[in-house]
Each structure stands twice: as C-alpha cells, then as structure tokens.
C-alpha cells in the first residue's frame, strides 16, 4: 500500500470512528442539492461527499461549492436514507475528502457495515426508524452485499 493510499485509508477509518462517536454526518448543501464529484475510480459514477465534522465540510466549501453550506444529518438518517438509497442509485460515498478532493470512494453498504461494526465495538445501539433493530439493518445490508 502506498503512503497516499494509507493516508486515504486512515482518513476513512477516522470518518467511521468519528461519526459513530458524534452521531452525526456532515455534507455540503445548496438548496436541496448535496455536493458531489465524479469518481476517480469508476467511469460515469458520482460520489456524494460526507465528512465527520463541520470543519472538514467547510474546508471544501470553495470553487464550485463556494455557495454550499455545511449541513449535518443524524447517523441513523445517513445509514437508512443515504447509504441504502445511494446503493440503489449506484452512487458512492466520498468519506472525509480533503480540500484537494482526495479521499476514499466506498460502496455505501460497505460503509454502513463498517459503521455497524464500529457501533458494536463501542457498545452502542442506534434506534432505527425504518428497521426493527440495528441487527435487522445489519442482516439486510449483509444480504444485499452477498447477493451481488
């Protein structure tokens, strides 16, 4: 693994750990539009950008996103609405990208499972609104990934 790849992986792990600790995820929005970028890994694939704190989002609020403002959502909303919805729309999660727009591009359901794994490691349980339990959410995400 190159130093660059290791840095991106560390940024991603920090993202997962921090959103579990704070129970919130940040994005950049303008009206109802969230900041996106083209994938550097997959042709014709969009990446929706998320950060683990307001500062990370604010640092990227320049150039084409100069008129965008940081907005937070709950961790449950991120998992249920964003990760699940993005999976259906074949979009990727951009986690804690830096101001040079460098960061990890991840499958949304993989991100969701990484969050659940971190929740369990910290002994936390979320109250889901669209699933009966965190366990049911995890089982359904795992099933969807296995059926690919």
Computed on alpha carbons and rounded to an integer, the radius of gyration of the chain in Å comes to 15
Cα–Cα dist 37/19, whole Å: 21
**Which residues, including other chains, have CB under 8 Å from residue 117's CB and lie 6 or more apart?**
none
Res. 1 pLDDT band, cuts 50 70 90: low
SS3 content of the chain, % helix, strand, coil (to 5): 45, 20, 30
Domain hosting residue 63, numbered range? 3-146
- Report the predicted TM-score, pTM, of the whole model to 2 decimal places: 0.93
How many domains does the chain contain in total?
Answer: 1
Cα–Cα dist 121/113, whole Å: 12
Give Cα 54 distance to the centre of its chain: 14
Give pLDDT tens digits for 53-87.
Answer: 999 999 998 888 899 999 999 999 999 999 999 99
């Amino acid at each position: 693994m190159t130093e660059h790849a290791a840095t991106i992986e560390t940024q991603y792990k920090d993202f997962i750990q921090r959103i579990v600790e704070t129970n919130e995820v940040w994005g950049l929005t303008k009206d109802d539009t969230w900041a996106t970028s083209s994938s550097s890994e997959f042709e014709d694939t969009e990446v929706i950008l998320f950060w683990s704190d307001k500062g990370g989002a604010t640092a990227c609020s320049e150039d084409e996103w100069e008129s965008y403002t940081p907005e937070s959502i709950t961790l449950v909303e991120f998992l249920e609405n964003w990760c699940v919805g993005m999976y259906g729309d074949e979009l990727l999660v951009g986690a804690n990208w830096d101001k040079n727009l460098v960061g990890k591009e991840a499958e949304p359901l993989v991100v969701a499972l990484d969050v659940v794994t971190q929740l369990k490691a910290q002994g936390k349980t979320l109250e889901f609104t669209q699933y009966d339990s965190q366990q049911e959410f995890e089982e359904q995400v795992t099933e969807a990934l296995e059926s690919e």
